[in-house]
Each structure stands twice: as C-alpha cells, then as structure tokens.
Amino acid sequence: MIRRLASRGADWRLEYRGGSRRAMAYADDLLRDYPDRVLVSASDTDPRPDLAELLAHAPRGVAVYCCGPAPLMDAVAAAMPAACPHGRLHLERFAAAARSGAGSDTPFEAELARSGRIVAVPPGTSLLTALQEVGPTLDFSCEDGVCGGCATPVLDGASATTATPGSRTCTTAMCCATRTRA
C-alpha cells in the first residue's frame, strides 16, 4: 500500500508502533525509504503516542488505516469522532472481534446441499469442526471468522456470523465461527 501511495505522489504518513524495535518487521526499510513520512516507536523505549493529538492533526478527508491489538484499535475508534470527525477509519483485524449475541450454544443441524447429508453440530462445536469430522474438505485458515477461507453459502436459516438480530436473511457463513441464531 505504501509503495502504491508513494508512486502516485499521494500525501501519507505512517505511525508504526510495536513492542520492541527488534521485533518490528520492515522498520529499517521503511525508515530508509521514507524517512520524512514514517515514525517508528517501540513501547519498550518510547512513550505512548497521544492518539487524539495524532488524529486531530490529520488533514480533512483523511483515511485512517489501523491494525494491531484490539485495545489499540478500540482506542483509535473511540478517539475518531472527537479528534478526527473529518476522517474515515478503516480497521484491519487479525483476530475476530468479540461478538455480542454470537448465537446460541444449542445443538443444530446443517444440511449439505450437494449431498443432502445432515450434519449434527453439538453444543460448543463450530460448524467447521462438525463438517471436518464427517469428511468434507473445506478450506480454512484463521479459524476465527476473519480470513474468509471457510466462507460457505447459506441457503436457508440464519447463522450468528452472518445475520443481524431478528434477520433471517443471510448469504454466507464463516463455518469456523458459526452457530445458529437463537
């Protein structure tokens, strides 16, 4: 993304924060290639940046991209409305956000449309786990509902990973994190 922005002459800035400088991938390369646009700070040597101040000085129409641990992303999201109402926030999570009302833990059945086979999904078990136990090969990676590797069309019913409360319409389920909506 940075190379593309730089090649287009876009105005951008990177605030790169990590636990220790040694563990921060590409930090030296970024500083070498973009010394005027990259600020690298490590929590073991540098004070925590003031998120509200960073956001308040962002230009009008800014797109703020944030990835990292959930507390950081939550803090940026909380600061945006007051500090940067003129910007748009994009969060990239590497783990699923906590789900409120993520579905009941009651057993349910899933019908495999092509074979007509009925798969029982017991309490405490994801749809992916139940499917893997009966043999279908379904791609998956993160097992947290984030990567989309196990995305599967929902033909009928409602899953907690796809339907909003009260909705019965859904098109895709992340099988690794799916429970039925009670």
Output the six-digit token pair for 36: 């005027």
For the stretch 58-70, pLDDT in tens is: 999 999 999 888 8
- In the numeric block, the tokens 């909705």 are attached to 167
> CB atoms < 10 A from the CB of 127, how many?
24
Question: pTM score, two decimals?
Answer: 0.55
For the stretch 17-27, pLDDT in tens is: 998 999 999 99
Helices (H), the chain: 2-7, 27-33, 51-56, 70-83, 127-134
Q: In whole angstroms, give the CA distance from residue 135 to residue 121.
A: 14
User: How confident is the model at residue 104, as a pLDDT?
Assistant: 64
What phi and psi values does residue 178 have, to the nearest 5 degrees?
Answer: -90, 135
User: How confident is the model at residue 148, as a pLDDT?
Assistant: 67
pLDDT beneath 50, residues of the chain: 101, 161-170, 182
User: How confident is the model at residue 8, as a pLDDT?
Assistant: 94
Output the six-digit token pair for 57: 């000085």
User: How confident is the model at residue 169, as a pLDDT?
Assistant: 44
